[in-house]
Amino acid sequence: MNEHNIAAIRNRAALATPMALRVAVTLGLPDRLRGGGATAEQIATEIDVSPVALELLLGHLATLGIVEHAATGYRTTDYGATLCSDADNGLTNFLHLNMAGGRAELAFVELLHSITTGHAAYARRYGHDFWTDLDRNPHLRTSFDRQMTHRFRDQIPHIVTGYDWSRFATIVDVGGGHGTVLAAILAAHPRLRGHLIDLEPTATEAAHTFAAHHVEDRTRITARSFFDPLPKGADAYLLCDILHDWDDDHAHRILARCAEAVHPTGRILIIEPVGGRAAATEFDLAMLVIFGGRERRIDEFRTLATAHGLILNAAIDLTDQRCLLELSLALTGT
């Protein structure tokens, strides 16, 4: 028996470290222990936790290099500062158990349910689906919107330059969040006008983004679900990281709304990871567990499109994480 292999698999499967990191971020330990640091007893008193248990957690965090022993107790290392709330790298949202990303990750404890049924595990854990959770808890929606904005931040330059947006006069960003992607596209193409569709209060926040990019005079914002009818007649309908959040039934409903609204010679543009091409396997599982969706492959997108009289004209690799799929009505495809 190969002891090295056993140890490697055990380390990959062990939950102690991922949960220790999540609890540390949730308790704000990397922030609190910056600078001079503090003892476990001091911190335990401040945040009302068990000092004995906190000492155990800090001991493991020291093993991981997140904190280090100091004359004052424990202090955050330069490496551990990556987990501080002002690091602006998205990790706080991903790990914090009371934010959308960290809360959603815990649905993985019900992965067996998802593999057995093909359905999301989120509702099994929390009693309702992810989107209902956001509706009921405004702080989760706020953190989710922030997470989405951060996720696209490094991708936006490639999205703007990786496709010829100048061919369009009007574009509707369906489920466009805070508008960071649409604002960047409009800023690069002064003749293009945009219309963002999303739910409140997310849609309202997009106004600040458009103003910051000085494109507010070329934008409209409508607070609406993308399951409802969309504004008709635009040259392009953009879906950024939308369809992979939904099972096939809901994906068909979203795509149907785009197909009925698009100008006869217009395009429907899907930007998201594509299975087997620009999608991480663990993220694929996350889509299943949290949303009941998946990173679809090209042939699956083609099947979705065909059901709505659409054809796939092109599949463009924008980054190592996302592709752009261009769809058009079958009678006008070129």
Give the model confidence (pLDDT) of 144-180 as tens digits.
999 988 888 889 999 999 999 999 999 999 999 999 9
pLDDT digits 0-9 by tens, 15-50: 999 999 999 999 999 999 999 899 999 999 999 999
174-208 tens-digit pLDDT: 999 999 999 999 999 999 999 999 999 899 999 99
Q: Is 69 a catalytic residue?
A: no
Which pair of tokens denotes residue 164?
């010829």
pLDDT tier for residue 333 given thresholds of 50, 70 and 90: very low
* Overall fold of domain 3-83: Arc Repressor Mutant, subunit A (1.10.10)
For residue range 284-322, what is the model confidence (pLDDT) as tens digits? 999 999 999 999 999 999 999 999 999 999 999 999 889
Q: Which of 106-120, 141-155, 208-222, 248-262 has the lowest mean pLDDT?
A: 141-155
Nearest CA-CA partner of 295 in 277, 281, 275? 275
Query: What's the confidence (pLDDT) of residue 332?
Result: 54
pLDDT at 39: 96
For residues 35 and 51, what is the distance between their CA atoms, to the nearest angstrom?
21
Residue 125 in this model has a pLDDT that exceeds 50: yes
Pick the catalytic residue from 214, 244, 263, 308: 244
pLDDT in tens, 68-118: 999 999 999 999 999 999 998 999 999 999 999 999 999 999 999 999 999
Q: Which two tokens stand for residue 188?
A: 């690069």
Which band of pLDDT confidence, cut at 50, 70 and 90, is reported for residue 3? confident
pLDDT value at residue 149 = 87
What is the reported pLDDT for 310? 98
Which CATH class, in words, describes the domain spanning 154-280+291-332? alpha beta
Token pair for 227: 């399951």
Q: What is the mean pLDDT of residues 207-232?
A: 97
Q: Is 1.10.287.1350 the CATH number for 94-143?
A: yes
Query: Is residue 1 over pLDDT 80?
Result: no
Gyration radius from the chain CA atoms: 23
Question: What are the domain boundaries of the chain?
Answer: 3-83, 94-143, 154-280+291-332
Two structure tokens written together for 179? 């508008």
- Alpha helices, DSSP H only, in the chain? 3-13, 16-27, 29-32, 40-47, 51-64, 91-95, 100-105, 111-117, 122-126, 130-136, 138-153, 156-161, 180-188, 202-212, 248-261, 281-291, 298-306
State the Cα–Cα distance between residues 75 and 52, nearest whole angstrom.
17
